[in-house]
Structure 1
Amino acid sequence: MEDKKGFTTTILHSDRLLKPEFGALHQPVHTSVTWGFDDVQGLVNVFQNKAKGYAYSRQGNPTTTALEHKITQMEQGKSTVTFSTGMAAITATIQSLIKAGDHIIASSYLFGNSRSIMQTFMDLGLSFSFVDATSADNIKAAFQENTRMVFVETIANPATQIADLTAIGDFCAEKGLLYVVDNTMTSPYLFRPATVKASLVINSLTKYIGGHGDALGGSVTDTGNFDWTTFPNIAAILREQIKPEMLGITQIRKRGLRDGGGTLSPEAAHTISLGSETLALRLEKACYNANKLANYLENHDMVSKVYYPGLKSHPQHQLAADLFKLNGGLMSFSLKDGIDCFAFLNRLKLVVKSSNLGDTRTLAIPVAHTIFFELGAVRRAEMGIPDSMVRLSVGIEDTEDLIADFSQALEASK
């Protein structure tokens, strides 16, 4: 019987148990672009998927493979492919698996760049329906005979809507649909999409998994829940060469990574791998801080609304409690009318004005003027994003210092 270890223990010892040379505790950084073979048949076997190995590092190398192994363990999946960014992972997934004439159902609350790349695919002829994913009934209503994929996020950025993940998973399983869940805002420590029948899990490794704002990366993990033999868009040559359970992830690696070229550098992979070791520790503190800060802001007379799943006032508060280990470090709030959003942000001394998420430091950004500016006022209104909304990525600072900073900035804004 397998001796199963806890989340952090597994991550900490993942590289070491793969036995890197000289007893190294971490997989070393392999910077080689190409790989030599004593026998040309070995090179041919790698190209023809008959043997494991490396031929050209655009498709990966030992350093990215070690990180992929670690992400797979975190998500308790079958296999993972890493990319240069989370957006590269999303783009490659759709590019690799969807064909002209196919239809995708996606959450209407998707992050702006995710929505933007889907608009690009729409311009190229793919069909999308964007629906309120907080209810699976909306997914069901959008279903068409040519629907191939459902794409949702766990917690939406920035207004924190939560998809009806379990019911959507049941519907996708019933209809044989690819169920893609972006797990970035929760990370595999707070939630594993495999438990709600997700087929593929996407993570922006730049965010909580890397955790320190020092490396870009993304990943796609196959959970093992989907029967790829039933999926019509798998290339015939792969069906001849690859085990059935590896068909989808291999096609993503071949058509998405190899052909798309969004390769994760070995240096970034190593940095992300090191950062991931403290994922659980960081998220425990970030979630604690976010909960305290959300309650403070909700009770402040200069704040009109707080968007955080940990609050009982959140529309999906109970759903979040049922699904997630903790409520995450993402939150937003709206200032009351008449308060200058920019002036307030500029009064923050500890909090960094920045666009990233999942950093150890608390970051703040005015949503309507930055990350959702290109959507326009009408679309922002449809998504419930007022001009006064401030998005926070809550970090691991001492809680009292964090609340004190918001307190002084709010008081000075009166």
Structure 2
Amino acid sequence: MKFGTKAIHAGQEPDPSTGAVMTPIYQTSTYAQKSPGDNKGYEYSRGTNPTRSALEGCLAALENARFALAFSSGMGATDAVMKLLQPGDEVITGNDLYGGSYRIFTKIFANYGIKFHFLDLSDPEIVAQYTNENTKLVWVETPTNPTMQIVDIEAIGKITKAKNLTFVVDNTFASPYLQNPIDLGADIVMHSVTKYIGGHSDLVMGALMLNDEDLYKRLWFIYNACGATPGPMDSFLALRGIKTLHLRMKAHCENGKQVAEFLKTHPKVDKIYWPGFTDHPNHEIAKKQMRGFGGMISITLKDADLAETFRIASNFKVFTLAESLGGVESLLNHPATMTHGSIPKEVREKVGVVDSLLRLSVGVEDIEDLLEDLKNALS
């Protein structure tokens, strides 16, 4: 089954009681049982719900996985993975990382005796160099947030397999339409479903997809016991959003390319981060493991202090200054004070997250309007 067909049909069947084509919203907390234990898989909606089950079947199919778990947020999904670890365990991760991930690693799980190594993973061999007897997990973003670093999933997958490490890829920026990390050697794929998968900025959700049944059972126990599971309405909205994922991603990629080309030669732009350019670090790896370069672009403004950066960021009319990304509408973000504000200044600036950096999530509006908005805002 091809991607577009999976996006519309995977995990879903007409409702057996009514024939409804769209998966019903099972707005219930509990389920009748004919006798104790006779529940046909449904007991209490923290653990399982038919609307969520349909969504999880679809999510698994999109990432070519056997299993999926939907969470109430991307951070809920991240939290569940970290709970696989024990005090004394070590994690290798990237030095350019979503601020929420950095925060939960350093402010929550480091307090429980888990050690994190934040490294430049553009060279896969650094994983082998930093692995020791306590290393248990490798956590990767690619493209990274917000400087769009590209990490070679297949190369790291070979290293983690040889060293018996759990390999997790945050695939949020690419979406399953552009990249499938499990096919390249990842053990777990994480998504903030809030972003491209949901696609309409109307829900908050996360997900994990994987193939290993024993690992799935361990994660399902955490998922059910700790309770970071989404309700049926959000599950329904995610299913509805997924049905146009392939169409939206084509438009994001097309618009993203034109916006990136416009900005690359703009006199107000100092640096531009977009993996579609041949001079972008690891561009060839991006070509190999991705089916397109997406709609996420970051730029630094030339000779702009914080006040000037704020002025320009507030000058847009079509792009909206807001947190998040991946919706049909174009969004603008100032990472240093928004998504990455929890990362110490000296840490974030080492990887290029400076005060003059802006992150663009290019939406699916008419490209002429987006380019005009950029031209006016940067004037």
TM-score under structure 2 length normalisation: 0.96
CA RMSD of aligned residues (A): 1.4
- Equivalent position SS for 2:342: helix
Q: Which moved more, 1:258-267 or 1:5-14?
A: 5-14
Which residue is 1:13 aligned to?
Answer: 9
| Aligned match of 1:248 | 215
Counterpart of 1:113?
100
Query: What SS does structure 1 have at the residue aligned with 2:194?
Result: coil
Q: Offset at 1:100?
A: 1.6
Q: State the distance in 2 between where 1:152 and 1:352 align.
A: 28
The one-letter amino acid paired with 1:407 is K
Contact 1:15 1:27 in 2 (8 A): no
Question: 1:247-396 maps to which residues of 2 (within 5 A)?
Answer: 247-255=214-222, 257-338=223-304, 340-396=308-364
Shift of 1:20: 4.2
Paired residue for 1:211?
A: 199
Contact 2:41–2:48 (CA under 8 A) maintained in structure 1: no
What is the aligned-residue identity percentage?
35
Aligned partner letter, 1:76: N
Is the partner of 1:203 in helix, strand or coil? strand
Residue of structure 1 in register with 2:66 after alignment: 78
Q: Is the 8 A contact 1:20 1:27 kept in 2?
A: no
The structure whose residues are more often helix, as a share, is: 1
Structure 1 contact 357–363 (Cα < 8 Å) conserved = yes
Between Structure 1 and Structure 2, whose CA radius of gyration is higher? Answer: 1
Q: Is the CA contact (8 Å cut-off) linking 1:344 and 1:409 kept in structure 2? A: yes
* Correspondence 1:102 to 2:89: yes
1: CA distance between counterparts of 2:149 and 2:249?
19
Q: 2:352 matched to 1:401?
A: no
* Matching residue's letter, 2:284: Q
Deviation at residue 109 of structure 1 after TM alignment? 1.4
Query: For the Cα contact (< 8 Å) 1:15–1:25, is it kept in 2?
Result: no
Aligned counterpart, 2:208? 220
**Secondary structure, counterpart of 1:26 in structure 2:** coil
In structure 2, the partner of 1:240 is none
CA deviation vs aligned residue, 1:70-103 (integer Å, no higher than 9, x gap)? 00010110111110001100001111x1112222
**Residues 271, 301 of structure 2: 8 Å contact kept:** yes
Alpha carbons 2:73, 2:205 under 8 Å: kept: yes
For residues 343 and 182 of structure 2, what CA distance do their matches in structure 1 show?
Answer: 32
Once the two structures are TM-superposed, the CA of residue 338 in structure 1 deviates from its matched residue by 3.8
Which ranges of structure 1 fall in alignment gaps of 5 or more residues?
Answer: 44-51, 225-244
Residue type at the aligned position of 1:352: T
CA deviation map 1:46-65 (0-9, x unaligned): xxxxxx50111111200100
Report the Cα distance in structure 2 between the residues aligned to 1:15 and 1:22, rounded to whole angstroms: 18
1:66 to 45, 54, 61: 54
Confirm or deny: 8 A CA contact 1:361 1:396 kept in the other structure: yes
Counterpart contact for 2:14–2:20, Cα < 8 Å: no
Q: Is the 8 A contact 2:99 2:341 kept in 1?
A: no
Bigger CA drift: 398-407 or 363-372? 363-372
Q: Please say if residues 12 and 23 of structure 2, whose CA atoms lie closer than 8 Å, have aligned partners that are also in contact.
A: yes
CA 1:75/1:335 → structure 2, altered by over 3 Å: closer, same or farther?
A: same
- What 5-or-longer segments of structure 2 have no aligned partner? none
**Residues in 2 aligned to 1:363 and 1:374: alpha-carbon distance in whole angstroms:** 20
1:18 CA drift (Å): 6.2
Q: Is the 8 A contact 1:59 1:254 kept in 2?
A: no
